[in-house]
Structure 1
Amino acid sequence: MLKQNKKDKQQDGHRWLLIGFLCLFAVCLVAQVKPTGQNKKTETPAAKPEDGTKQTAKGTKKEPENKKTKVYLLHANQGQADKLARPDVQVLIGNVKLRHDSMYMFCDSALIYEKTNSVEAFSNVRMEQGDTLFIYGDYLYYDGMTQIAQIRENVKMINRNTTLLTDSLNYDRLYDLGYYFEGGTLMDEENVLTSDWGEYSPATKQSVFNHDVKLVNPKFVLTSDTLKYNTFSKIATILGPSNIVSDNNHIYSERGFYNTLSEQAELLDRSILTNDGKKLIGDSLFYDRKVGYGEAFDNIRMTDTINKNMLTGNYCFYNELTDSAFATKRAVAIDYSQGDSLFMHGDTLQLVSYNLNTDSVFRLMKAYHKVRMYRTDVQGVCDSLVYNSKDSCLTMYTDPILWNEGQQLLGEEIKIYMNDSTINWAHIINQALTVEMKDSIHYNQVSGKEMKAYFENGDMRHIEVIGNVMTAFYPEEKDSTMTGFNNMEGSVLHLYLKEKKMEKGMFVGKSNGTLYPMDQIPPDKLRLSTFAWFDYVRPLNKEDIFNWRGKKEGETLKPTTDRRPKTDRRKLINMDFPDLK
């Protein structure tokens, strides 16, 4: 009886041990695969990866640390596993939710590869990191070892105000960098950017685009080969040949910055700003689209292809709203409308437009100070000048001198009236003097209160001298032999020139004087009292316009009249200081 009881107890012990083993096996199986119909949340780690590689982002000096954590299963409606055929694969179906560190992944179905710690996700794929980064697509392959996600078909990445659309996106979690290679679109509140290849970093807000890059803004379109763009600062960094086109102008640059928010550009490497037939080039440019002005620095050139003129120098300012500009630092205005270019230099050259967008539009071109100009047939110097397009008149102020071949004209003020950029006639006002050099001793000289010189095809043909006329003139034979010396005075004189030489003179009204034989000319009659020959200040070529040479001491003209506007000093005092009596 005792033996039988002992035997029964042993059998009961074996029975409970077998039940325990079966329960333990069941628990392990449940841990591997959640039964159909269960919605209980759990975290099931995939197996630790056997190997993996790190991807180094461009320009990154320090690689971020890869902790090599596991991909966890948080939820699935169904789970399947075939330990014999594919022992390292879990098949998940329905409302799948996974987690890797701070990244959550959602999809309709998925495969978890335990050995490689990777995931394939299918249909309605969504990745979420915090509340700022969301990625959508139709397919996902995620490598938990390298932390690189490959999202395909209908991909959308959303980072706060920025949206990236493409069909093929790789997202590197280590470097927080997404990049596409088969065409994509990046959008924010201001701009839409498209390219063949691009990358975007949600952390730095910096994006890079290559090949057929296009940035579309409501006010302009930027096309480029290579471009950087920051979605926070809205600054586009130009890294290759680029064109920025708007309704008002066109910018070409190969290197620089364009702030799409403030609409200011800083452009380098001989960038070009083109507007309404005007082209501004410089080693560097600054442009403000809102205010409508541009600045060019060093080796600048502003070309007007419509009027065929040009400004050069080392600094230029241009206002496209008022159509005005000025240039300094070796500034030169060049007119090439007549083939033979006219070069003019001054400390400052300025262009001002009036009555824009009307039928009465006209422009003033001003040059000051120490103005020098050169063309093969005409040269001139003065302190300042103004050209008015309304009457095509160029006025030279303060000791002006004008040369045409062997003729020198000077006075207190010279007005030159143009016809299609060629001289039509010139008006010399007060202390007028014209001198023609025959040789180093003999000069034809005419002085008067004022002169009017008329030109044909750029050559002086007729001079009218008015008021207090005095002459010292050498008549010639046809073979250019001087026959005598004519010293006369009168009120009005007409001089006629042929082949750029004085041919004859004719007084109108009463005149008196003496004709001396060549060997009986009194020494004191050889020169008029106002005679001056300023050949030493004459520009010799287009490079000589930069070399200012003033008149010698005592040879400058003293104005006969005060041309400054008169002001009643008492009225000025009462206006500015009403308390003064």
Structure 2
Amino acid sequence: MPLPTDTSKGKRLEFEADRYNFTKVEGIGDFISLAGHVKMKQDLTLIYCDSAVLNQAANIVEAFGNIHINDADSVHTYSQYLKYLGNEKTAFLKRKVRLTDGRAVLTTDELEYNTFTHIGTYLKGGKVVDGTTVLTSTEGYYYGDTRDMYFKKKVFLNDPQYKVNTDTLLYNTYTQIARFTVPTKIKTGTRTVNTSEGFYDMKNKKAVFGKRPVVDDKDYTLTADDLAFDEATHFGEAQGSVVYKSKDTANKFAVLANNMKSNNNTGSILATQKPLMIIQQKNDTIYVTADTLYSGKLTELEKFRRVPNITDTITTKQTKNPADSNSNRFFEAYFNVKVFSDSLQAVGDSLFYSFRDSTFRFFKNPVVWSQENQVVGDTIYLFTENKKPKRFYAFENGLAINKVEKDLYNQFKGNTIDGIFKDGNIDFVRAKGNAENIYYTADEQGGFIGANRSTSDVIDVVFREKKPYKVTFLRNLQGTISPIRQVNSSEMRVRGFNWLEAKRPKTKYELLGN
């Protein structure tokens, strides 16, 4: 937008003073020396000073001592020296220069100010104070009509709550909004934001950043196409290729999504639009996808509801490091849940995972696989150790299946199923409540010799070399053992049997492309 231009020659300066003296300089013109309560006027501009020399022909004045320019009662400028070009309506001020629009105060050693365009310029360093906010730069431009200030070169903004370091910044003293158009670093508390585009509303404590800003906090980093923060509510939103990474070395994780909302006060995040959680470790990373992922702190959750828990007496108790903040973190996944790692895979309707006990809690007809083993139930708790399956509980309609070979399956069913994994294979199973089992027996050479089909109140099975080694029945045993030649493998199925290999995630890329 072009600047306004003054098409008419500036009016002759009018003056008042306690004393004045006329002097004529040959070849130059007439000068008027003014002293004592000097006051000059041009249109709506008033100039006050201790003394001045006025060239009426050129319409130029030099003023000295306690200078005050009142520009239409909107902008006030002060200095110890002034040269004012009346025709151009331009003031050149030096020494202890101060400009204020009633809110912000600009101080500098040298300032050029135009009373027609209401634009002030400094090129040798300046400082602006607006309440508790202080801005400094090498160059600066003040636009009185809009109350905009344009800062360039070595720009620093200091406020009790944040600090900004950039090369170019636009600030409005009325709205108190700072805008960024070049690489900018913003420091607030433990958080640093690096951005190349955006604005910060200092009055309302809101900010919007674009061009893939990066947030670096003490616990995490966050990158997205666009970010928005509301410090008053502690609410934030990230959009477009969002990447959230934790810094906890013991329980490291990342969340990817196209939309993520966060609460910086509670530490919670809500990821939607193809979210993916990655629980990272050295040898076996776990990937989790769902329609929605939510994460928060257990201490916050426990204020409002009980965290589902079953004590795992077999899994070694974890040593928690208080410095590792993620030991206090949980995840929830809703709808179309899929889990993949090299050692375990799972699907289900919903999921709860806690870093405190490294336990996956699957709800609503989940399925869990590990190597040639499948576990189903209305609800499954899967305990992990070093992110590998260690133990499981299947509640209501529990069924553990161990694939022996094509069409041959060891099967263990009960109201509840309790199992232990060793090196990814089932090592022990207890089926309790209306327990059923089908398992195949083998000779010393490994050849199948028969099939056992039994029911009991409780069935305990110990495995050796991936095969049932010892089976114990507690109360109300009924069963048959059939020679292998009389067995129709397709009929050897417990109630509710369903081998769900087609639902099993085969690679992490199935989840990454979700």
State TM-score, norm by structure 2: 0.85
Query: Residues 496 and 504 of structure 1 are in contact (CA less than 8 Å); yes or no, is this contact kept in structure 2?
Result: yes
Asked whether 1:229 is paired with 2:171, we answer yes
In terms of fraction of residues, the more helix-rich structure is: 1
1:502 corresponds to 2:467: yes
Aligned partners of 1:230 and 1:488: how far apart in 2?
Answer: 82
Task: Select the structure of larger CA radius of gyration.
Answer: 1
**Aligned match of 1:575:** none
Deviations 1:96-127 (A, max 9, x none): 44333322333344444456433333333332
- Which of residues 149, 162, 167 in structure 2 aligns to 1:220? 162
- Of 269, 287, 290, the residue aligned with 2:232 is 290
1:427 Cα shift? 0.8
What do the CA deviations read for 1:321-357 (whole angstroms, capped 9, x no partner)? 2222211111222211354221111121122435359
Deviations 1:210-263 (A, max 9, x none): 222222223222222221111111111122222332335333322112111111
Q: CA separation in 1, counterparts of 2:44 and 2:490?
A: 107
Matched residue, 2:92: 150
Q: Which residue of structure 2 lines up, in the alignment, with residue 470 of structure 1?
A: 436
Deviation at 1:425, TM superposition (A): 1.3
**Aligned partners of 1:186, 1:526: CA distance in 2, in Å?**
84
Is 1:239–2:181 an aligned residue pair? Answer: yes
Q: 1:322 and 1:415 mapped to 2: Cα distance?
A: 26
Aligned with residue 413 of structure 2, among 419, 438, 447: 447
CA contact (8 A) 1:138 1:155 kept: yes
Question: Equivalent residues in 2 for 1:385-400 (5 A)?
Answer: 385-389=351-355, 391-400=357-366
- Residue identity matched to 1:317: K
Matched-pair contact (CA < 8 Å) for 2:10–2:88? no
Q: Is the 8 A contact 2:286 2:387 kept in 1?
A: no
Q: Is the 8 A contact 1:435 1:445 kept in 2?
A: yes
CA–CA separation in structure 2 for the residues paired with 1:180 and 1:92:
29
Higher strand share: 2
Q: Is the 8 A contact 1:486 1:513 kept in 2?
A: no
Letter in 1 for 2:155: V
Give the structure 1 partner of residue 497 of structure 2. 531
Q: Contact 1:469–1:493 (CA<8 Å) still a contact in 2? A: no
Residue 561 of structure 1: aligned partner: none
User: For residues 148-547 of structure 1, what are the structure 2 equivalents within 5 Å?
Assistant: 148-247=90-189, 249-306=191-248, 307-355=251-299, 362-389=328-355, 391-456=357-422, 460-475=426-441, 481-489=446-454, 490=456, 491-498=458-465, 501-502=466-467, 504-509=469-474, 513-522=479-488, 525-545=491-511
Shift of 1:188: 2.1
Give the C-alpha shift of residue 382 in structure 1. 0.8
Distance change (3 Å), C-alpha of 1:472 and 1:523: same
Unmatched tracts of structure 1, length 5 or more: 1-59, 549-581
The answer (yes or no) to whether the contact 1:484–1:515 under 8 Å persists in 2 is no
| Cα pair distance change 1:405/1:524, threshold 3 Å | closer
Contact 1:282-1:296 within 8 A present in 2 as well: yes
**CA distance in 1: counterparts of 2:241 and 2:390, whole angstroms:** 34
Q: CA deviation at 1:166?
A: 0.5
Which residues of 2 match residues 8-19 of structure 1 at below 5 A? none
Deviation at 1:379, TM superposition (A): 0.7
Query: Is 371-380 or 87-96 further displaced after alignment?
Result: 87-96
Q: 1:484 aligns to what SS in structure 2?
A: strand
CA 1:409–1:106 in structure 2 vs 1: closer, same or farther (change >3 Å)? same
Q: Contact between 1:474 and 1:482, CA under 8 Å: does it hold in 2? A: no
Stretch deviating more after TM superposition (514-523 or 430-439): 514-523
- CA drift of 1:431 comes to 2.1
Note the C-alpha offset of 1:288.
Answer: 1.0
Structure 1 residues 523 and 403, CA gap change in structure 2 (3 angstroms): closer
Answer yes or no: is 1:61 the counterpart of 2:35: no
Amino acid at match of 2:353: Y
Could you say which residue in structure 1 is the equivalent of 2:13? 72
What is the SS of the residue equivalent to 2:511?
A: helix
Alpha carbons of structure 1 residues 330 and 524: separation in structure 2 relative to 1, 3 Å: closer
Give the alignment partner of residue 139 of structure 1, picking from 81, 92, 107: 81
CA deviation vs aligned residue, 1:126-147 (integer Å, no higher than 9, x gap): 3222323221122222223332
Q: Give the aligned residue type for 1:355.
A: T
**Native 8 Å contact 2:67 2:79 kept in 1:** yes
Please say if residues 301 and 310 of structure 1, whose CA atoms lie closer than 8 Å, have aligned partners that are also in contact: yes
Distance 1:213 1:372, change over 3 A: same
- Asked if the contact 2:372/2:425 (under 8 Å) is kept, the reply is no
Q: Distance in 1 between matches of 2:77 and 2:287?
A: 63
C-alpha distance 380-497 of structure 1, shift in aligned 2 (>3 A): farther
Q: Distance in 1 between matches of 2:444 and 2:133?
A: 79
Taking the aligned partners of 1:131 and 1:173, their CA distance within structure 2 comes to 12
- 2:224 match: secondary structure: strand
- Aligned partners of 1:472 and 1:487 also within 8 Å: yes
CA contact (8 A) 1:470 1:487 kept: no
User: 1:190 deviation in Å?
Assistant: 4.6
Q: Could you tell me which runs of 5 or more consecutive residues in structure 2 were left unpaired when the two chains were aligned.
A: 304-321
Q: How many residues align?
A: 485
Contact residue 150 and residue 168 of structure 1 kept, 8 A: yes
Identity %: 25
> Aligned-pair distance for 1:184?
0.8
Q: CA deviation at 1:533?
A: 0.7
Q: Distance in 1 between the 2:414 and 2:360 partners? A: 21
Deviation, 1:432, is: 2.0
Secondary structure of the corresponding residue to residue 175 of structure 2:
coil
Alpha-carbon distance change, 275 to 457 in structure 1, aligned in 2, over 3 angstroms: farther
Q: What do the CA deviations read for 1:359-406 (whole angstroms, capped 9, x no partner)?
A: 999554221112111112211011112224554432111111001112
Which string of whole-angstrom CA distances, capped at 9 and with x for unpartnered residues, describes residues 407-453 of structure 1? 11111211112345443311112322222334433333332332222
1:488 partner letter? R
Bigger CA drift: 455-464 or 392-401?
455-464
Letter in 2 for 1:100: Q
Q: Equivalent residue of 2:233, what SS? A: coil
| Residue 486 of structure 1, CA deviation | 2.1
**d(CA) in 1 for partners of 2:511 and 2:151?**
48
Query: Does the residue aligned with 1:355 lie in a helix, a strand or coil?
Result: helix
Provide the C-alpha distance between the structure 1 equivalents of 2:51 and 2:105, rounded to a whole number of angstroms. 26
Question: What CA distance in whole angstroms lies between the structure 1 residues aligned with 2:45 and 2:448?
Answer: 109
Q: Does the Cα contact within 8 Å between 1:71 and 1:98 map onto a contact in 2?
A: no
Q: Assess, with a 3 A threshold, how the Cα gap between structure 1 residues 459 and 194 changes in structure 2: closer, same or farther.
A: farther
Cα deviation, residue 470, structure 1? 3.3
Q: 1:450 to 1:185 in 2, by over 3 A?
A: same
Instruction: Report the Cα distance in structure 2 between the residues aligned to 1:524 and 1:373, rounded to whole angstroms.
Output: 30
CA distance in 1, matches of 2:2, 2:485: 95
Partner Cα separation in structure 1 for residue 332 and residue 218 of structure 2: 21
